[in-house]
Amino acid sequence: MLNGEREKAGVEPFIMTEKLEDAAQQRAVETFVLRDHQRPNGTGSGDCNFA
């Protein structure tokens, strides 16, 4: 479904990588522990670089 929509938009398909999985796991732990969108280092949740 996601990649179908991405294809319609003319962008590359989403591919789950180990690095992305690790980052997602880290954010899940941070969010569970802190119950906040702010990261432990004070940056916002949108400040992550998964590339």
**Domain ranges, residue 20:** 15-39
Q: Look at the chain and report how many structural domains it folds into.
A: 1
Residue 20 lies in a domain: yes
Q: Averaging pLDDT over each range in 9-13, 19-23, 26-30, 31-35, which range is the top one?
A: 9-13
Q: To 5 degrees, how large is the angle CA 38–CA 40–CA 41?
A: 100
Q: How far apart are CA 36 and CA 51, in angstroms?
A: 23
Is the confidence at residue 50, as pLDDT, over 60?
Answer: no
Residue 30 lies in a domain: yes
Q: Are 41 and 20 in contact (CB under 8 A)?
A: no
Is the confidence at residue 15, as pLDDT, over 90?
Answer: yes
Residue 2 lies in a domain: no
Residue 3 lies in a domain: no
Average pLDDT, the chain: 81
CB atoms within 10 A of CB 23: 15
Q: Are 14 and 21 in contact (CB under 8 A)?
A: no
Residue 8 lies in a domain: no
Residue 24 lies in a domain: yes
Residue 5 lies in a domain: no
pLDDT of residue 40: 67
Residue 35 lies in a domain: yes
